[in-house]
A = this chain, B = another copy of it.
Amino acid sequence: MAKPSKKLAEEPGIGHNSQVSGTRIKSFVGKIERLEEQKHSIGLDIKDVYTEAKSAGFDAPTIRKLVSERKKSAEKRQEQYSLFELYSAAIGMA
Contacts and interface: CB of A to CB of B under 8 A. Distances in A.
A45 B42 CA distance: 14
Interface of A: 1-2, 11-18, 20-22, 24-26, 28-29, 31-33, 35-36, 38-39, 42-43, 45-46, 49-50, 52-53, 55-59, 61-63, 65-67, 69-71, 74, 80, 83-84, 86-94
B56 A32 contact: no
Contacts of A67: 29, 32-33, 36
Given A16-B59, A29-B66, 10 more contacts: A15-B92, A16-B83, A28-B56, A29-B63, A36-B46, A36-B67, A61-B90, A63-B87, A66-B88, A66-B93
